Structure formats: structure tokens, C-alpha cells
């Protein structure tokens, strides 16, 4: 009976292993250090500003960022006027008094516009593949920001014997697509000239855009971290107080 139980336990322990071995788990994602990692993590405002520059200059021609409103950018350290000016660089369709379609300038309450009028157009422009919205990307993929960073820097020559399909690109971190992704390599050294003078290596650019996208996906991360810290301090003090109170109450009985 004992043996049967043991065997059953062993079998059960193996089940998650066989289920867990999906393609993406065969790829090793080296853990990156981010300013926002851990319980005390904070965003680096300058890095977020650089990331915004990368989004605007490199990614925005294909990827939307539909959950981010221009006014959210104040969290990156921009003033209200800077945000207003930034929004005004974009145009949005609207109707005039006669009902004809015209363009108006963007307002802080507008969201980043999609580069394409619709999905069909987006696919037609990208060899049939759809560039996904990037607003929640770092939360939507396993390994989060580490995944996005490694994907951006993971372009390489395909291993011997692999034929990369037409219009596809070998990327050693794109396991879900058998290492073939419809997005070409986007980031090279000096792809952007940073306004703050930071040296724009491909590695730096990829880190900056990833940090920016993580802010877009988790704008409240810092609030959550500091609330967590306050709750922890409160709990520690409360536990110490409770301990001394207990000693006092029980002191008479233990004599």
C-alpha cells in the first residue's frame, strides 16, 4: 500500500514537469537588472524619457501604444506645457461644423494614435503579420521586461540547417514562432541621438525602450512599492507591540 502511494506521489510530481515544458521555457532568459526591479524599485525618469524618444523615433511607425495618453507623460518629468506641445505634434481626425472630415491637433487627453487605420492595413504593411499594441507588452509575456529586452537584442544568424522563411527573421528568443519573427532587427548602435547625451549603443537603446514600455504597462509600480513598504513597517511595529503586550498579560500567570 505504501509503495503504491509512493509511486502515485512520484507520478503526480512529474505531471507539472511534462506540462511545463513548453517551447518558451527551453530558452534561457538571462535576468537583467532594472532600476524598477525588487520591492524598492523605482523608475529612472531620464531612462523613461530616452525610452519615449526611442518609441517615437523607432517603434511608433509600426506599433500603437493605445493605453497611454499624452498627459500620462507628466509622470516622466515633463511639465504640463511640454506635454501640450508634445500632443500638438500629432493630428487626429474630427468633423467640422458641416460634417466634413478635418484634422485637429492632439490634446493632452488624447492617446498615442495607431500608425495604421485598421488591422488589415497593418498586416498588409507587415507581410501579413500584425505588430501588436505595446502598452501592456511587458506584462503580457512571460519574463516581462527581460523578454522584451532580449527579443530586441536577440537577432542573429540562424543556426546551420535552419531555413528562415521569406519575410521572417531569426531571433533566438522568439520561441513561440519557432525562432522566426516577422519583425526585422530594429535597434542598432547609434540608431537614435539621445537628447540627454547618453551614448546610444544598441544595448542601451533596448534597455531604455524596455523600461519605458514597462512604465507604460505598470505606471503605478512605485506607488505600489511604497505602499508595500509602509504596510511592512506597520506590521513589524505591530508585531513587536503585540509581543510585549502578550508578555505583560501572561507575566502574572507564568510566575
- The answer to the question of residue 58 lying near ligand HEC (CB under 6 A) is yes
Q: Rank residues 9 and 61 by Cβ distance to ligand HEC and give the closer one.
A: 61
Least Å distance, CB 250 to ligand HEC, is: 58
- The answer to the question of residue 201 lying near ligand HEC (CB under 6 A) is no
HEC-encoded secondary structure of 105-166: ECCCCCECCCCCCCHHHHHHCCCCCCCCCCCCHHHHCCCHHHHHHHHHHCECCCCCCCCCCC
Kindly write out the interface string for residues 165-194 of this chain, putting x where it contacts ligand HEC by CB under 6 A and - elsewhere.
Answer: ------------x---xxx--xx-------
- The answer to the question of residue 68 lying near ligand HEC (CB under 6 A) is no
Q: Rank residues 45 and 123 by Cβ distance to ligand HEC and give the closer one.
A: 123
Rounded distance between C-alpha atoms, residue 174 and residue 181, angstroms: 7
Kindly write out the interface string for residues 83-122 of this chain, putting x where it contacts ligand HEC by CB under 6 A and - elsewhere.
Answer: ----------------------------------------
Least Å distance, CB 38 to ligand HEC, is: 23
- The answer to the question of residue 129 lying near ligand HEC (CB under 6 A) is yes
Q: Rank residues 76 and 183 by Cβ distance to ligand HEC and give the closer one.
A: 183
Least Å distance, CB 91 to ligand HEC, is: 20
Rounded distance between C-alpha atoms, residue 208 and residue 151, angstroms: 14
Nearest to 214 by CA among 151, 154, 146: 146
**Contact status, residue 62 vs residue 251, Cβ threshold 8 Å:** no
DSSP 174-234: -GGGTTEESSPP---TTSS--TT-----HHHHHHHHHHHHHHHH-TTHHHHHHHHHHHHHH
Least Å distance, CB 211 to ligand HEC, is: 11
Q: Identify the sign of the CA torsion 101, 105, 106, 108.
A: negative
- The answer to the question of residue 216 lying near ligand HEC (CB under 6 A) is no
Within 10 A of 191 (CB to CB), how many other CB atoms are there? 15
Which residues contribute to the site for ligand HEC (CB under 6 A)? Answer: 54, 58-59, 61-63, 126, 129, 131-132, 137, 141, 148, 151-152, 177, 181-183, 186-187, 209
Amino acid at each position: 500500500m505504501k509503495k503504491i502511494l509512493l509511486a502515485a506521489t512520484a507520478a503526480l510530481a512529474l505531471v507539472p514537469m511534462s506540462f511545463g515544458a513548453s517551447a518558451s521555457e527551453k530558452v534561457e532568459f538571462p535576468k537583467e537588472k532594472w532600476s524598477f526591479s525588487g520591492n524598492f524599485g523605482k523608475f529612472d525618469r531620464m531612462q523613461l524619457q530616452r525610452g519615449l524618444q526611442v518609441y517615437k523615433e523607432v517603434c511608433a511607425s509600426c506599433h500603437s501604444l493605445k493605453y497611454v495618453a499624452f498627459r500620462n507623460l507628466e509622470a516622466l518629468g515633463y511639465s504640463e506645457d511640454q506635454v501640450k506641445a508634445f500632443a500638438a505634434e500629432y493630428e487626429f481626425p474630427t468633423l467640422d461644423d458641416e460634417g466634413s472630415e478635418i484634422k485637429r491637433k492632439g490634446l493632452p487627453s488624447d492617446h498615442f494614435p495607431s500608425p495604421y487605420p485598421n488591422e488589415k492595413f497593418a498586416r498588409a504593411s507587415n507581410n501579413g503579420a500584425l505588430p501588436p499594441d505595446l502598452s501592456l507588452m511587458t506584462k503580457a509575456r512571460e519574463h516581462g521586461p527581460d523578454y522584451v529586452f532580449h527579443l530586441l537584442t536577440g537577432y542573429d544568424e540562424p543556426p546551420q540547417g535552419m531555413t528562415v522563411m521569406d519575410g521572417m527573421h531569426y531571433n533566438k528568443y522568439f520561441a513561440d514562432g519557432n525562432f522566426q519573427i516577422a519583425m526585422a532587427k530594429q535597434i542598432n548602435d547609434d540608431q537614435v541621438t539621445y537628447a540627454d547625451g547618453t551614448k546610444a549603443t544598441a544595448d542601451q537603446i533596448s534597455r531604455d525602450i524596455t523600461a519605458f514600455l514597462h512604465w507604460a504597462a505598470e505606471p503605478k509600480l512605485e506607488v505600489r512599492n511604497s505602499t508595500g513598504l509602509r504596510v511592512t513597517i506597520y506590521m513589524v511595529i505591530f508585531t513587536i507591540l503585540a509581543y510585549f503586550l502578550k508578555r505583560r498579560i501572561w507575566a502574572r500567570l507564568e510566575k
